Each structure stands twice: as C-alpha cells, then as structure tokens.
C-alpha cells in the first residue's frame, strides 16, 4: 500500500534536490509499483508526463542527476510541488474509492464447474452452485478472496503475503497449500479439509485450529461448535475427478448434493424411519438415472426430479 506521508516527503525532498541514493530508489519504486494509481487516466496527459519524468529522471549507470539550484527555478519547483500534491489528493481519493481495486466474481450454476486462475497464479476449482470473489490485483500485505459454496484451492506459495479465504464467518489463512472448503449457504455446517501444507482457521477474530494434512474441521453455523477429525481428504475432493462420493451423508445432504451435481430438483418420498439413514457410496462418472436408481435401492425411497430453470443468485456478504 502507498504510505501517503512518506511518498509526499520523498517528493518534496526530490524537488529540493536533497534525496539520498536510497531515498531516490525508494521513490522510483513507488512509481514503478503505483504509477498508474498515482496518476489516474483522468489527469491531463501533459502534467502526468512532465511530473512523472521529472521524478524518475536519473542519469544512466547509477549517477545521480544534478539539478541546478538557480533561484529562478524555485517558483517552478514550488508550482510543481503544489500541482503534484493536488494530483496526489485526487489520486488517493481515487484509490480509496470502493471501486478500487476492481472486484471479480465467478459463479457456477448447478451442474457446472469452473477453474479460476487468480492474479497470483493460485488455482481455484469451483464446484457446482458456488461463487468466488477476488480483486483484479492483490495489493497490500495479504491475498484475500471470499467463497460461497465449495471450492478446491491450490495456493501459490508466498510467505510474505498470506492467502485468506473468507467463507461465511470462518477465515482460513494460508501460505501455500491445497485444501477444500465446503460452505454452501443452505447447509448448516462448513467443512474444511486439508490436502497438503498447513492452514490456520479463525472465526470473528478468535483462532480455532491449525490443520495438518488429512484433517478436517467441521463447523456448525448456528451453535458455532466445531470439531477436528482425521479424515481422508481424497474423499472430499473426489468431485475434481467427476466422482460423486457419499460418506455417511444424511438423506437430506445427499439430496442437496445430487441436485447441485445434476442441476435438478428432487422430490423424495420416503418412510419416516429412513429420514435419518446415512448413505455411503461412490459413483464414478455418474449419470442422473443411475444415481437415482441406486439411491432408491439404498433408501427404499421413491425419487422423481425436474430440471432446474432459474439461475442461482448469490447474496453479498
């Protein structure tokens, strides 16, 4: 992020020709990293070019530029300082606008998956009925994204800029690793499973746990209770290979999974004593008809369906 006071001080020292070599490099770094932000496109091109060049101008081979200190140049430098401060004032208003940086949102409908490459080259695979929002450019001291639904993350390693995923009230901090988060809005729980590396999970400022590979955190949204268990993460990410895997899921959970997977609405007619039945099974490259037929045999239920017609709508957090 730009330190406004520091940047302004460096500019003033430059105009007075009192910059040290290290300060000159620091000022040049500001312009290399934030030049487009400091001079928005709405600033008149002549002013931008003149001021930008004036600050960056140095002789080749590391020699410091020698600026004459003749008194008749002082009014110009003062005017340049005033102009630059005005530009900076406008720029920081521009930067602090909620429109900067631009936020990108990618969604998947039921029956759809997408792979998203983030600005830092991290890769996110969205499962069906999910949404991820992230900035067009990661600035500051962290890489922050928000998730609704389910996604598998392969995070590029950067210890100086941790990766942060917000899903409902849970925050997952990462340096570089791969993990799965399932946080559908209509589900009473959030499940986070770690494949490789290490992640730290917190809620509303309170640290909850640090997971190791093949551990899962299960969080109940209403009670805020959570548990950590040893868990085969491969089961949670089998959807990446188009394998629908059920692992002691309730009938209600199974219904939601199938609806998202095939973009259908199910009508399940079952006996009262089978509603709490848990379901375990694996369907490789499943078809809807085969899946429903197997579930009917497993549960003794009658299952019908109709195709979904309305696109999903995601509400902002």
C-alpha closest to that of 88 among 198, 199, 181, 11:
11
Q: Which residues pair with 106 in a beta bridge?
A: 132
pLDDT at 64: 41
* Each residue's pLDDT tens digit, 64-79: 433 333 344 444 344 4
pLDDT at 78: 44
pLDDT at 97: 42
pLDDT at 9: 77
Q: Which residues pair with 171 in a beta bridge?
A: 166, 202
pLDDT at 179: 97
The rounded distance, in Å, linking the Cα atoms of 312 and 156 is 30
Q: C-alpha 264: how far from its chain's center?
A: 29
* Each residue's pLDDT tens digit, 284-307: 999 999 999 999 998 888 999 998
Token digits of residue 317: 């957090």
DSSP letters for 201-253: EEETTEEEEEE-TTEEEEEETTT--EEEEE--HHHHTGGGGTEEEEEEEEHHH
Sorted by sequence, the CB contacts under 8 Å of residue 20 that are 6+ apart come out as none
Report residues of the chain scoring pLDDT below 70. 1-4, 16, 30-100, 272-275, 309-317
Token digits of residue 273: 């004593």
Model's pTM, two decimal places?
0.66
Contact 197, 209 (CB under 8 A): no
Place of tokens 């209770």: 225
Token digits of residue 26: 């620091």
DSSP letters for 59-90: -STTPPPP----GGGHHHHHHHHHHHHHHHHH
C-alpha closest to that of 48 among 35, 57, 59:
35
Kindly report whether the peptide bond that precedes residue 178 is cis, defined as omega within 30 degrees of 0: no
Sorted by sequence, the CB contacts under 8 Å of residue 123 that are 6+ apart come out as 115, 116, 117, 153, 154
State the chain's mean pLDDT as an integer: 80
The rounded distance, in Å, linking the Cα atoms of 190 and 218 is 6
């Amino acid at each position: 992020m730009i330190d406004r006071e520091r940047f302004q001080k460096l500019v003033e020292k430059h105009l007075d020709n009192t910059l040290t070599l290290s300060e000159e490099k620091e000022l040049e770094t500001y312009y290399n990293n934030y030049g487009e932000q400091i001079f928005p496109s709405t600033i008149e091109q002549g002013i931008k070019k003149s001021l930008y060049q004036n600050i960056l101008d140095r002789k080749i081979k590391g020699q410091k530029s020698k600026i004459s200190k003749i008194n008749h140049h002082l009014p110009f430098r003062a005017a340049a300082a005033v102009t630059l401060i005005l530009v900076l004032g406008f720029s920081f208003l521009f930067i602090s606008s909620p429109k900067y940086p631009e936020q990108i949102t990618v969604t998947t409908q039921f029956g759809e998956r997408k792979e998203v490459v983030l600005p830092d080259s991290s890769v996110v695979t969205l499962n069906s009925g999910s949404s991820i929002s992230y900035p067009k450019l990661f600035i500051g001291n962290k890489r922050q994204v928000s998730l609704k639904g389910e996604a598998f993350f392969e995070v590029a390693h950067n210890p100086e800029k941790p990766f942060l995923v917000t899903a409902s009230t849970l925050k997952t901090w990462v340096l570089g690793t791969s993990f799965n988060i399932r946080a559908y809005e209509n589900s009473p729980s959030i499940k986070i499973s770690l494949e490789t590396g290490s992640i730290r999970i917190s809620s509303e400022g309170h640290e909850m746990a640090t997971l190791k590979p093949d551990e899962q955190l299960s969080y109940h949204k209403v009670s805020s209770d959570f548990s950590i268990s040893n868990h085969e993460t491969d089961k949670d990410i089998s959807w990446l290979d188009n394998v629908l895997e059920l692992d002691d899921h309730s009938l209600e959970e199974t219904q939601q999974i199938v609806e998202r997977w095939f973009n259908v609405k199910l009508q399940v007619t079952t006996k009262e004593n089978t509603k709490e039945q848990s379901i375990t099974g694996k369907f490789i490259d499943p078809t809807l008809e085969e899946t429903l037929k197997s579930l009917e045999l497993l549960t003794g239920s009658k299952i019908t369906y109709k195709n979904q017609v309305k696109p999903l709508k995601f509400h902002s957090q």
